[in-house]
Amino acid sequence: MYVPKIIELKKDLENLKLDGLVADWEIPFENLLTRLSAAIVFVSLNASASELLFKAFEKFENFSYRINSEKKLSALEYRLTFNLEEKEKNESVVPGNALASQV
């Protein structure tokens, strides 16, 4: 499906992968998404790239993240989301997370 914000996000993820910051990424059910706020993105990072990676996504509305402890949809390390409800949940799960609370 053609969703401009998801396409922009995927390009950013690919660029970060080429730059060596992201080891791998995936968007489950990507072909069903009609808006970015419904997307859940999973990423694994190289070394200590987390702060750089998360800063790169601050431009997306309601961006937040947390460690992917559930491992239900993906085995990758982090879960990124772009909706207000998840952002509020992530802020409570990751207290003091400056990036999640700033965005």
The number of folded domains in the chain is 1
Confidence of residue 94 (pLDDT cuts 50, 70, 90): low
Mean pLDDT for all residues in the chain? 86
3-class DSSP state of 21: coil
Q: Domain limits at 38?
A: 4-102
- State yes or no: pLDDT of 37 exceeds 50: yes
Q: Under the phi-then-psi rule, with left for phi > 0, alpha for psi from -120 to 50, and beta for the rest, what region is 4?
A: alpha
Taking the C-alpha atoms of residue 44 and residue 3, their distance in angstroms, rounded to an integer, is 24
Taking the C-alpha atoms of residue 64 and residue 60, their distance in angstroms, rounded to an integer, is 9
What local confidence, expressed as pLDDT, does residue 55 receive? 84
* The dihedral sign for the CA sequence 33, 2, 63, 48: positive
The H or E element that residue 7 is part of is helix 4-18
- State yes or no: pLDDT of 4 exceeds 70: yes
Confidence of residue 102 (pLDDT cuts 50, 70, 90): very low
- State yes or no: pLDDT of 38 exceeds 80: yes
